[in-house]
Structure 1
Amino acid sequence: MPSNLKKIAAPQVHIVDYSTVYAKSLDFFKKCCIIIIAIRFRNTKLKVYYNETEKNMDIGPKIKQLRMLNGLTQEELADRSELSKGFISQLENDVTSPSIATLEDILQCLGTTLSEFFSEENSHVQKVFGPEDYFEKKDDELGSMTEWIIPNAQKNMMEPIRLTLAAGGSTYPDNPHEGEEFGYVLKGEIVITIGKERLKAKAGESFYYTPDKKHYITSKKGAEILWVSVPPSF
């Protein structure tokens, strides 16, 4: 070999693993999509359905229960979450719905998170109810007043009500349906009509029947009863 020629080293060849590059690119793309979706829907109104029967979940009563457990007034919660007292009131009464971001802020002030708030095992779910939770409906024509003493019980397996009948009052005749009905007379005396059968019950007595015939309750002098339907039918 001539002395003026130098030996040239063979170039190094780098083998690229395109499967690894593709995997990393795909992972990056997924992360970008998640961020974009989160930003896009961050202020979307929140409507939640939960449990195996897809029952609509009421956010307002749970917010109210958490606020009371924390010993806060509506005004104090509003100040902490930088919202108006009016908005908190509307939220607790299910008049309005919060965005996800707003709900996160409120829950942070109440010492909980979204995942805990919507957990079926949440210990803060209301189990005791008072007069402020009741919903009532008066029927002046029939002389009756119905109080739903468990809010939204139509979603549950049973539906309890407190029925007050004025003198000569009556419930609306209910057509035959599946299920069972139980009642306890708190005051007065009633007559239960089931098809052609008429049954009397006075204060301290209870009744139970299968509503497979047209049925209704009347009271000559007025009465008050606790009445339960399984499944809900009131």
Structure 2
Amino acid sequence: MEIGEKLRNLRVQKNLTQEELGERTDLTKGYISQLERDLSSPSMETFFNILEVLGITPEQFFSEETLAQKIVYKDEDSTLYYDEENGYELKWLIPESNEKEMEPIVLTFDKNGQYKTFEPSLSETFIYVIDGSVSLILGETTYSAKKGEAMYYQATERHQLVNHSKGKSRALIVATESYL
């Protein structure tokens, strides 16, 4: 099996799109596509970064053995992505969470930061505000929560999360897998 095919299979198993893998690795969707088709070869640093995001070590990538379930995750297991243009940082707490029923992240907003708008889905989302305050725009209605408060909703309408505070805000978000 070619490395590209194995990377693609692993990405698909993790239920990531090429764009999502690119976001988490600071690579473009086009470059991920080239790697998966063996049209380009990544540097060792890029390859190790991709494997880290996919939640697998190089030894595991080249091994055929089945892995035991991981229970405890450390800070170094997390993956960071910073979107300077929109003023937010995503921290994926569990590398392979996108293949699970829920995906926990910590979202940190800069002043005036806003997260992308999501289309309606059957996903359920829990948000706990750690610092500052955030607003959820769900359809035509806006809901706000401050430090120590939580929100829980089914994402059946377009929705977006924005910083509602005059400074930084931080929230723990856990979303379930969306089947629509």
Q: Is the 8 A contact 1:180 1:209 kept in 2?
A: yes
Q: Is the 8 A contact 1:195 1:213 kept in 2?
A: yes
Residue 226 in structure 1 maps to residue 172 in structure 2: yes
Select 2:82's aligned residue among 138, 144, 150. Answer: 138
Larger radius of gyration: 1
CA–CA distance in 2 between the matches of 1:231 and 1:97? 29
Amino acid at match of 1:227: I
Amino acid at match of 1:218: V
Q: 1:96 to 1:208 in 2, by over 3 A?
A: same
Residue 151 in structure 1 maps to residue 99 in structure 2: no
Tell me which of the two structures has the higher relative contact order, counting C-alpha pairs closer than 8 angstroms and 6 or more residues apart.
Answer: 2
CA–CA distance in 1 between the matches of 2:172 and 2:59? 33
Q: TM-score, normalised by structure 2?
A: 0.64
**Aligned-pair distance for 1:99?**
9.2
Select 1:126's aligned residue among 70, 79, 82. Answer: 70
Q: How many residues align?
A: 139
Task: Say which structure is richer in strand.
Answer: 2
Name the counterpart of 2:21.
none
Q: Is the 8 A contact 2:121 2:178 kept in 1?
A: no
**1:99-142 CA distances to partner (integer Å, 9 max, x unpaired)?**
98xx5xxxxxxxxxx8xx527xx4xx321111111111111111
Unaligned residue ranges in structure 1 (runs of 5+): 1-43, 57-85, 104-113
SS class of match (2:132): strand
**Aligned-pair distance for 1:179?**
1.7
SS class of match (1:132): helix
Q: Is the 8 A contact 1:134 1:149 kept in 2?
A: yes
Q: Is the 8 A contact 2:81 2:89 kept in 1?
A: yes
Select 1:210's aligned residue among 127, 130, 154. Answer: 154
CA–CA distance in 2 between the matches of 1:174 and 1:231? 13
**Aligned-pair distance for 1:200?**
0.9
Unaligned residue ranges in structure 2 (runs of 5+): 15-43
RMSD over equivalenced CA pairs, Å: 3.5
Q: TM-score, normalised by structure 1?
A: 0.50
Amino acid at match of 2:176: V
Residue 182 in structure 1 maps to residue 129 in structure 2: no
**Aligned-pair distance for 1:177?**
1.2
